[in-house]
Amino acid sequence: MEKFVITGGKPLHGEVTISGAKNAAVAILPATILAEGVCVIENLPNISDVSVSLNILSVLGARVRMLSKNTYEIDTTHLVGTNVPDELSRQTRASNYFLGALLARFGRAQVAMPGGCNLGSRPIDQHLKAFCALGAQDSVDYGMITVRAKEELSGARIFFDKVSVGSTMNAMLAAVRAKGQTVLENCAKEPHVVDLANFLNMCGADVRGAGTDVIKVRGVESMHGCTYSIIPDQIEAGSYMVAAAATGGDVLIKNVTPKHLEPITAKLRRAGAEIEEFDDAVRVRRTGPILPLKINTMPHPGFPTDMQPLMGVLLSVAQGTSTVTEGIWDNRFRYVDELRKMGANVQVDGQVAVFEGVEQLQPAPLRASDLRAGAAMVVAALIAHGTSEIEEISHIERGYEDIVQKLQGLGADIRKVERQPAALSQAL
């Protein structure tokens, strides 16, 4: 029952430090199961999707100890279960990574059909195809997915019909301890795929080629714990880059890998932002007008779908007509309804949205319909002159650590307040 109250119209200024990558963390945490020992994971973002994954590990019998806000020690030597409780699996899409990790270690796993953002249909056929190729069978019963190895898992050649981050990572997890070599083709190349491979290799696995579309995994008999630091979050960094550009601010965004930001940097430069790259930081400034763009979202290294709603906000106040084509998810323009409440002029036809830039956005009562749509609403509220309120912020807190404090540090007028229950607020 909490909401954000944001008074916009002020350019953001100052420095912000980016947290560890959510989409790497939620795969690396289940991967600690394969280490069968003690792992220390550093730079873990303090967000609810990570807490859910840590809770799942605890329930399965791992010893989870917080060493600091962003560092956890996880001992997976003695696990007691292979079933992820229903209510935990449904809280995050990433619970499906427990399928690959538990299958590889115990030959069996059960997870409920995962939750997460509603971006349209989110099948897991490619995950299951990979498990089956390695020698498992699957069944779905009353919303629970069970995978079971028929005998020992053994290496296989797997061609993904779709480029999929989740299937690539789940197949890697399942294959690292299988007998012989697995060759994965048409793989996703996102930075978090590479991060998972690096973590697995630090634990004694033999994974080569991550970051290209062919990944070769030679199965090893045993693995061990390690200390590992998660990469910076590409999308959190991109979100602050857009916020800086949209508000006409000047922000130094620290703890980033500029290479991972290239598709975002290139588009923001075309939109009129000035971007300076340093070893592990980028500075984003904008003084001139926002120029219109054409954007097509694609798998890495294309323009990331997770940045699409944020760029949509920027383009809603560009000088001219922009076109955004969503190439990954079939339902990722739901935020447009909220933007229209603010006076944006956007037409959506299937997977294409056309933005006719308007001079200004007006404040409005807003809703975070999913994680990135929620972040987009925050940026929209930051540029609108006046006070907007955003509800359903739990979606935003699934993926952005300390967003209120970080934005306040940049001079934004943002507060998190308790929302009055409807009956009570009417009575007052």
Of 39, 117, 187, 203, catalytic: 117
- Measured from the Cβ of residue 235, the count of other Cβ atoms closer than 10 Å reads 24
Separation CA 236–CA 18 (nearest Å): 7
Residues present in the chain in total? 428
CB of 97 to ligand EPU, least distance (A): 8
Asked if residue 218 binds ligand EPU (CB under 6 A), the reply is: no
Q: Residue 226 catalytic?
A: no
Asked if residue 206 binds ligand EPU (CB under 6 A), the reply is: no
φ, ψ (nearest 5 deg) of residue 5:
-115, 120
Asked if residue 215 binds ligand EPU (CB under 6 A), the reply is: no
Asked if residue 126 binds ligand EPU (CB under 6 A), the reply is: yes
Identify which of residues 286 and 406 has a Cβ nearer to ligand EPU in the complex: 406
Asked if residue 23 binds ligand EPU (CB under 6 A), the reply is: yes
Separation CA 247–CA 314 (nearest Å): 9
Identify which of residues 306 and 389 has a Cβ nearer to ligand EPU in the complex: 306
Among 43, 70, 110, 164, binds ligand EPU (CB under 6 A): 164
Per-residue contact flags (x/-) with ligand EPU for residues 311 to 350, judged by CB under 6 A = -----------------xx---------------------
SS3 content of the chain, % helix, strand, coil (to 5): 35, 30, 35
Identify which of residues 204 and 309 has a Cβ nearer to ligand EPU in the complex: 309
Among 91, 167, 198, 388, binds ligand EPU (CB under 6 A): 167
Separation CA 364–CA 353 (nearest Å): 21
The answer to whether the beta carbons of residues 391 and 419 sit under 8 Å apart is yes
Asked if residue 230 binds ligand EPU (CB under 6 A), the reply is: no
Per-residue contact flags (x/-) with ligand EPU for residues 89 to 108, judged by CB under 6 A = ----xx--------------
Separation CA 115–CA 414 (nearest Å): 29
Separation CA 212–CA 215 (nearest Å): 7
Each residue of 290-299: b (16+ CB within 10 Å) or e? Answer: bbbbebebeb
Three-state secondary structure string covering 51-95? HHHHHHHHHCCCEEEEEECCEEEEECCCCCCCECCHHHHCCCHHH
3-state secondary structure of 411: coil
Asked if residue 26 binds ligand EPU (CB under 6 A), the reply is: yes
Task: Considering only the stretches 13-21, 117-125, 358-366, 406-414, report the one whose residues sit in contact with ligand EPU under the rule CB under 6 A.
Answer: 117-125
* Secondary structure element (H or E) that encloses residue 26, with its range: helix 22-35
Asked if residue 166 binds ligand EPU (CB under 6 A), the reply is: yes
Separation CA 84–CA 105 (nearest Å): 14
CB of 328 to ligand EPU, least distance (A): 5
Three-state secondary structure string covering 306-371? HHHHHHHHHHHCCCCEEEEECCCCCCCCCHHHHHHHCCCEEEEECCEEEEECCCCCCCCEEECCCH
Tell me which residue has its CB nearest to ligand EPU.
Answer: 166
Asked if residue 395 binds ligand EPU (CB under 6 A), the reply is: no
Among 2, 15, 87, 125, binds ligand EPU (CB under 6 A): 125
Residue 83 amino acid letter: N
Contacting ligand EPU within 290-309 (CB under 6 A): 305-306
Count residues near ligand EPU (CB under 6 A): 25
CB of 318 to ligand EPU, least distance (A): 23
Among 87, 123, 276, 365, binds ligand EPU (CB under 6 A): 123
Contacting ligand EPU within 30-89 (CB under 6 A): none
Separation CA 360–CA 372 (nearest Å): 21
- The residue among 48, 53, 74, 70 whose CA lies nearest residue 62 is 74
CB of 31 to ligand EPU, least distance (A): 13
Among 108, 122, 254, 419, binds ligand EPU (CB under 6 A): 122
Residues tagged active-site: 117
Q: Which residues bind ligand EPU (CB under 6 A)?
A: 23, 26, 93-94, 117, 121-127, 162, 164-167, 188, 305-306, 328-329, 371-372, 399
